[in-house]
């Protein structure tokens, strides 16, 4: 016999976990979340875990404001270990047009209540990163209240809370197809499940699942290569630092550092070895102390890129919903969007934040 549930959530990352939990807060208990591998094994597990407020659109800034609150309070709210490491965030540039955009974004962030945003001149950069060589830089934007988290901690907290309220969770349950049947939705996987509603929160797999419904979302995996160094810069502040001109990226990981280069598209033949060679070359100018660091471990993650830079959130067909396409920002914005979507599904949309222009069938670039 076909199993029947009220709501089936596809995807066990931070977004799916948030949707499942916040639906239980709205009073629904007949929820089944399915994950094709293990919980937090997709984009969530591959995330660097940065949580920042430095965005440039009202939606993103508000998502970040609420996301920071989620991560800073999750340990207390869920009575479990969800550490928030307040290391700060630093974006730097030597290009006038990018510096102007940082100024403009900081003004918008401040106007929306995020006042711990600091535009730094080159000679002030040592306040945030004393190990950095400011030569060639025009300055940067520093948000010391930002930080980093371990995203699977949040997934675990949300999932445990959802299960405590009656939700079911199944791992190693890949979804092959979602199809309408008799006013319900038939979800085909290891077994067939009939659901009144389905919510697809499957990251870069969402494009494939949504294509039969006329959506070409172009969400795709982007391989994020990183390396964990030996202990470095003892006692020094290391915000999650990105040189916007080169992609040079470094952040604290315990006593060690995460080293990476962030490109919009990885060059052909990209590898850990090549990344580290280029990182060392960039470090010789930007952070000489880091140019000869030994590496103890490689990291590889796949984050979701594509679309128009904003997530796709809302109803695709009656009873078929989705939230995907966070462009690598799911750790920051996923818990917030998951709550907003759960409220919308419950017929109780957030009165202070309209997300209707994020609907999956919007025209490209129409989201604010």
Indicate whether 245 and 262 sit together in one domain: yes
Q: Which of 145, 108, 147, 144 is nearest to 125 (CA)?
A: 144
CA distance 287 to 52: 22
Structural domains in the chain (count): 2
Indicate whether 156 and 23 sit together in one domain: yes
Indicate whether 170 and 280 sit together in one domain: no
Indicate whether 326 and 348 sit together in one domain: yes
269: left (phi over 0), alpha (psi -120 to 50) or beta: left
pLDDT value of position 357: 92
Coil, helix or strand at residue 245: coil
Q: Which of 257, 255, 256, 291 is nearest to 276 (CA)?
A: 291
Indicate whether 248 and 191 sit together in one domain: no
Q: Is residue 108 part of a domain?
A: yes
Beta partners for residue 324, in sequence order: 312
pLDDT value of position 170: 98
Which residues fall within 8 angstroms of residue 108, CB to CB, at 6 or more apart? 56, 58, 61
Coil, helix or strand at residue 259: strand
Q: Are 340 and 355 in contact (CB under 8 A)?
A: yes
Q: In CATH, what number is assigned to the domain containing residue 162?
A: 3.50.50.60
pLDDT value of position 366: 66
pLDDT value of position 46: 85
Q: Is residue 75 part of a domain?
A: no
Indicate whether 293 and 225 sit together in one domain: yes
| φ, ψ dihedrals at 272, nearest 5° | -60, -40
Q: Which of 349, 11, 48 is nearest to 158 (CA)?
A: 11
CA distance 323 to 308: 14
C-alpha distances out from residue 32 to 2, 112, 195, 198, 314, Å: 14, 37, 9, 10, 19
Beta partners for residue 197, in sequence order: 7
pLDDT value of position 220: 87
Indicate whether 285 and 312 sit together in one domain: no
Q: Which of 10, 22, 348 is nearest to 195 (CA)?
A: 10
pLDDT value of position 14: 97
Beta partners for residue 303, in sequence order: 222
Q: Are 261 and 279 in contact (CB under 8 A)?
A: yes
Q: Which domain holds residue 248?
A: 89-144+221-305
pLDDT value of position 48: 87
Q: Is residue 156 part of a domain?
A: yes
Structure tokens at 114: 């995020």
- Report the Cα 213 to chain-centroid distance in Å: 25
Q: Is residue 335 part of a domain?
A: yes
**Orientation angle between helical segments 330-345 and 14-25, nearest 10 degrees:** 30
140 class by beta-carbon count within 10 Å (0-12 exposed, 13-18 middle, 19+ buried): buried
Q: Are 120 and 239 in contact (CB under 8 A)?
A: no
pLDDT value of position 249: 97
Which of 305, 327, 342 is the endpoint of a domain? Answer: 305
Which of 305, 324, 346 is the endpoint of a domain? Answer: 305
Q: Is residue 55 part of a domain?
A: no
pLDDT value of position 83: 96
pLDDT value of position 212: 96
Indicate whether 226 and 274 sit together in one domain: yes
| pLDDT tens per residue across all 368 residues of the chain | 789 999 999 999 999 999 999 999 999 989 999 999 999 999 998 888 999 989 999 999 999 999 999 999 999 999 999 999 999 999 999 999 999 999 999 999 999 999 899 999 999 999 999 999 999 999 999 999 999 999 999 999 999 999 999 999 999 999 999 999 999 999 999 999 999 999 999 999 999 999 999 999 888 888 999 999 999 999 998 999 999 999 999 999 999 999 999 998 999 999 999 999 999 999 999 999 999 999 999 999 888 887 788 899 999 999 999 999 998 899 999 999 999 999 999 999 999 999 999 999 998 766 76
Indicate whether 301 and 161 sit together in one domain: no
Indicate whether 135 and 40 sit together in one domain: no
Indicate whether 137 and 262 sit together in one domain: yes
| φ, ψ dihedrals at 305, nearest 5° | -125, 175
Q: Is residue 368 part of a domain?
A: no
CA distance 128 to 54: 15
Strands of the 89-93 sheet, one edge to the other: 118-120, 139-143, 89-93, 240-243, 248-253, 256-261, 220-229, 295-305
Long-range contacts of 74-81 (CB under 8 A, 24+ apart): 74/153, 74/154, 74/157, 75/157, 77/157, 78/157, 78/158, 78/160, 78/161, 80/153, 80/156, 80/157, 80/160, 81/153
Q: In CATH, what number is assigned to the domain containing residue 226?
A: 3.30.9.10
Q: Are 222 and 198 in contact (CB under 8 A)?
A: no
Q: Is residue 336 part of a domain?
A: yes
Q: Is residue 363 part of a domain?
A: no
pLDDT value of position 368: 60
């Amino acid at each position: 016999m076909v199993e029947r549930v009220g709501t089936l959530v596809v995807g066990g990352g931070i977004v799916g976990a948030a949707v499942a939990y916040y639906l239980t807060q709205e009073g629904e208990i007949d929820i089944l979340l399915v994950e094709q591998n293990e919980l937090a094994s997709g984009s969530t597990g591959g995330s660097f875990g940065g949580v920042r407020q430095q965005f440039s659109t009202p939606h993103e800034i508000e998502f970040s404001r609420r996301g920071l609150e989620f991560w800073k309070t999750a340990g207390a709210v869920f009575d479990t270990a969800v550490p928030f490491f307040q290391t700060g965030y630093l974006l730097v540039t030597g290009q006038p047009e990018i510096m102007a955009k940082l100024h403009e974004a900081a003004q918008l962030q401040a106007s929306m209540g995020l006042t711990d945003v600091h535009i730094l001149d080159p000679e002030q950069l040592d306040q945030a990163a004393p190990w950095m060589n400011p030569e060639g830089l025009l300055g940067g934007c520093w948000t010391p209240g930002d930080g980093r988290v371990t995203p699977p901690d949040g997934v675990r907290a949300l999932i445990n809370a959802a299960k405590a309220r009656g939700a079911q969770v199944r791992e190693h349950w890949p979804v092959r197809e979602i199809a309408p049947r008799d006013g319900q939705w038939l979800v085909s996987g290891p077994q067939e499940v009939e659901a009144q509603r389905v919510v697809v929160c499957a990251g870069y797999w969402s494009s494939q699942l949504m294509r039969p419904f006329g959506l070409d979302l172009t969400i795709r995996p982007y391989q994020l290569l990183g390396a964990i160094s030996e202990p470095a810069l003892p006692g020094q502040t290391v915000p999650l630092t990105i040189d916007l001109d080169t992609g040079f990226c470094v952040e604290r990981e315990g006593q060690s550092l995460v080293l990476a280069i962030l490109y919009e598209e990885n060059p052909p033949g990209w590898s850990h070895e090549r990344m580290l060679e280029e990182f060392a070359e960039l470090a010789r100018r930007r952070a000489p102390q880091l140019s000869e660091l030994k590496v103890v471990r490689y990291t590889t993650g796949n984050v979701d890129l594509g679309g128009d830079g904003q997530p796709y959130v809302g109803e695709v067909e009656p009873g078929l919903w989705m939230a995907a396409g966070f462009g690598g920002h799911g750790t920051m914005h996923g818990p917030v969007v998951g709550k907003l979507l759960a409220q919308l599904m419950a017929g109780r949309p957030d009165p202070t934040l309209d997300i209707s222009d994020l609907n999956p069938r919007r025209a490209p670039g129409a989201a604010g």
